[in-house]
Each structure stands twice: as C-alpha cells, then as structure tokens.
Structure 1
Amino acid sequence: MDNYILVTGGAGYIGSHMTLALQAAGERPLVIDDLSAGLRSAVPDGVPLFAGSVGDAAFVGDIMDRYPIAAIIHFAASVVVPESVARPLDYYRNNTANARTLIDCAVQRKVPHLVFSSTAAVYGEPDRTPISEGQSTQPINPYGRSKLMVEWMLDDVARAHPLSYAALRYFNVAGADPDGRAGQSSPNATHLIKIAVQAALGKRDGLDVYGTDYPTADGSCVRDYVHVSDLVAAHIDALRYLRAGNPSVICNIGYANGYSVLDVIEVVKRVSGIDFDVRIKGRRPGDPAALVASNELAKSLLGWRPRHDDLETIVRHALAWERRLP
C-alpha cells in the first residue's frame, strides 16, 4: 500500500495507540505532533514523525505533497475542561482554527476521508442518559464548543467537497495497551483513572474529588469510561466504513455504563491493594453531572465490538503502565 494514514497528535496518549493499531491492520501511519504533550518515544519505530503544528498550513501542505495521504485521523487538540474555561481563546485556536487549516489542506489535495476526535462534551448537560447522537448539542464549556465547531465545519465541507468524515464523540478514555507498549505517559495528565493510579503508587499525595453534591447516586460526577484500545479499534472500523463508500457519520464511543468518581476510586484502591488520601473539594466550572453513552450506532453502523468493557480491566492496565514509568 503506497498511501499513508496521517495521524495528528500521534505522539500523544490516544494517538500512540492509534499508530500501533494501524500498523497491526497493515496500514502505513504517518504522525504530525507538536510534542507539547506527546513524546517522540511514543511513536513506534519506522513511523515517520514530523514535529510541528497542524495549524501551520505550509508545514502540513509540504508533508501532504511529499507523502500521499489516503485518510486523516485527527487527534491533535487541547482536552482539559477547566483549562478551557480559564483559557478559551487557546482552545478556539488549537482545536477549532487549527482543524480548519488541516481540513483546508486536505480539501486542496483531495484527501477522501477524515476521522475526527470529537467529545461527549458537545452534549453539555444532557436531558437524558444514555445519550444518543440525536440529542441536542448544547456544550457548557469552551472545550465542548471548540469541538462542536469542528463537527459543523466538517458537515459543511463534506457537502461542498468530496470528503467523507466520521466524528467520534468519545466518552472518558482510560487504560493502556494490554501488551504494555503504550499508555498515558504525561505526569500532569488530568484523567481520573490516571490520577488515581498515580496516587495509589505514591506519585501524588492523594486525589481531589471536585463536588459530591451532583444529582447522582453518591453525589459525585458519573462518566462512561472506555478502554483506549477499544477506542482506537472504533477508528479502524470508522475508516473501513468510510472507505466502503458510506456517508459521513457521527457516533458515540462509550460502553453505555456509568461509574461515579467515588466508584472509580474504590476500584483503584481494590485493584492496587493500596489506600490513599481522598480530599473532597467544591465543584469545578464546566463539569456536567453525568455523561453516559448510547453506543448502538457505533455497533450497528461501524461494526464496533468492544473487548475491554470492564472497569477493573481498565484500571489494571492503567496501573501496569504507570508502574513502568519512572
């Protein structure tokens, strides 16, 4: 196969798993990453890595001119909800404006397919759970808005140009490669399971819970935690779906199971066999009470079949990876 699959943000947490999955599927991944959060060491041997921004049209265009691109899988983005509330313009630049540049480069070179890393944050405070793709999108933070704007752009572009896309609305991604080849390596990550396993291993002095007065069973936020390996499998499925000539699609990627923050902490303590300090703090701005996916569309349209739908398995893999890190 002569063509490449361009993975933006491919040196990051999810992107590094994606390149491994593409290699296993017989594809040729090529990575662009500005290395602000990603690591060169996370990119598998033999995969071309270009350090720079997807918002740099000359840089991206030159790569696309030299390497024939069959599809783009776009991860590169800022992803921290509280940070987006404090620094909204950074998020509209990095997530929305940079995506516009990338899409423009793709259209100019007639790249046929794009798989976009969207988010459950586009739903805001959902009126019911599990959340289906047809429910209203009313994001309550700049992170969700910045991603929804990209969905709008893709919809408009796909009507005007021969570009088909899949926008995958992730719920809470967690865990690590079951074979120990990749995981979440940033010491300053904000994902709950990552922070909890760091606390269990003494890399943090405990864990803060932001709000126990939400309208949930135990008062803490409820989320749908999806294993990173299942998530990247959904991208492979989406790429296959688009290549078969199917129309553009928006799909949730989650397990349709909700766990509270306090549930997750209990599982991490049980799996690790280690107790750690848990501090109750006030709510953070921009956090919805509960986000749980309906995943019937991904299963029926994309043929997605999750293999790691078990919170203890997710925690075990995250813990094993964390133990490998310095």
Structure 2
Amino acid sequence: MSVNYPEINLYHTNMKKLYNHLKWRFIDRQTILTMAFSYALAHKKVDINQFEQVSQKIKKRAGFFTTLQRVQRYILTTQLIANYDDPIQKVDQLFSAYHSLVHSAFKKETSTYFTALLLLDEDEAEINAQIDKALELYQKHKKEHPILVDRSIYPYVLLLARNDNSVEAILEEVENHYQTLLEQGFKMSIETFWTSQLLALSGDRVSTSDVVKLFQMMKERGWKVKPELYPSLALLSLSRHDQDVINEIENRINALNERIEWRKQKSLSKSFAIQLFLNEQSEGSNLNYEVLRLSRQLVQAQQIAVIAALTASTVASNQSSSNS
C-alpha cells in the first residue's frame, strides 16, 4: 500500500491545469511536469490568471528582440510564483538583477535570467561585488576545464561567490572534490562538476565520502545512478546518508510512478522524490537553521541549473512557434 503525499496530490491537480492551459502552445510534457512540481513543492495551486499576468509582464519587460523563448518565460513565471507572494512585483527586480549580471559580462542568454533569480533576496549594496567574484570563478573554471564547463554553472558560482574565501581557495576546493568523485567512480560530466560545487558550498556539513557512501548504497539497491542524479546525492547528504533514507526516497518514487506521466521519467522521478524528501525535512525539525537555509539555497541553485539545461534542450523544438 503506497503512502499518501499531499504534495504529489497537489502536483497532479496542478499538472492537469497547466497541461489543459498550455497543450496547444507546443510546450513539452516534461517541462509542464517540472512546472507543476515546482508549484507543489511550494504548496501552491496553479492560478491561471496569475500565471498569465506574470508571464505577460515578463514578456513585456524582455522586449521583442529578447533571447528569452516562450518555454523559458513560462518556467521563470513558475519560479517567481512558487517562491514569492508578490511575483508580479518581483519581475522588475528580476530584470534589474539580469541587467546587473549582463553589465558585468555575463552572457545575454537564458542561463543568466535564471541565475538572476538567486539575486532577488540579496542586499543591493553587495550584489556587484558578488557578481564580479562569480564571473571570475566562472572564467577560471572554464579555463581549467574548457570542454567540460559551460554556463550551466552560473547559479553555483554565484552562490560560491558569497563565500568569504578567496577565489583561489574556492577553485582548489571544487577541484579537489571533483577529482575525488572521479576516483570513486563518478563519470566525467558537468553533473559531477555541479556536485563538486555543491560540496564546496556545503562546507564541512557534507563530505565527499558522504556522497560516495550514498552512491554506493544506491547501486547496491539496484539503482541506475546516472549523472543527472549526482547533484541530488550532495543535497541528500545534508540530511542523512543511510539505508533508511533510501527507503524513504523509494516510497516517494513509487507514489510518483502511480501517475502514468512519471513512468518514463525514471531519472527525473528519482530527482524529484529526493527534492520532495528534502522539502519535508526542511519543514520539520530535522535540520538546524543554518543547514535549513543552506539546503534551500542549494536546492534552488540545483533546480535553476537543471531547468536552464532543460529549457536549452527543448527550446529548439519550439523555435517554429511564435511567442504568445
């Protein structure tokens, strides 16, 4: 008998609303699924009128010659609604943060819009210094790994830039984590690099050995631990890393898989099940305040990186349709 999870029930309601509203706009099901789940994690129901108001304001602010495609605009809309009680007011702040990033030589592209989401709660007086440090981190990561590293690491370097350590110290820590993960059987991939950045962000709260332990336990349980799941292991290690936690995750995967749209999304269902578990942990008393705050920051950074990558891979199929 499966466990009932309110967030999954809410997801199903949201999925139907979004699908019915967007099905003729050439938005792929995986994107709608991701949007519906973001609402559910925030315990919010989809309000189509609000969705359209926020989306249209983003479209107006972006202008006619924007690189922002419709599918990306919809996901930005979802992120603002899920994370804020005043999403329409946050649109202007989003574009202000975006232009600050671009002014400091971040590229005029989708990943920069999503990275700007991480600046909405920051002190304006500190933003420019943080952006400059983040850009230096990105450029040096890119120089060290020119083929591996791409602009999907923007959210991570922005969070890493809040660290008081020097750029050189941060780079060294990320590289040490990355090499250790490769030695322990992780594949050479951008996801492994993301994971090394998450480990650097977590400081001494999570070690590489914690992530490797979870990795090995999951493989022993018969999981196919693909690279896209690697960052979730780092997030999960903030809470627990034992057999019981894998049971908890599997219960949530089974609950998700009762919905037909999840059955072919095996990697995504695992990732979302972990996010659901972490969400529940953060709302309880299992994490102290600092770990709770860190967990939410890391989950947001990971969601933004994954969403940016998702929209980049799906936008080509939407090029033939004009903005609505």
On whether the aligned pair clears a TM of 0.5, the verdict is no
Higher normalized strand content (fraction of residues) = 1
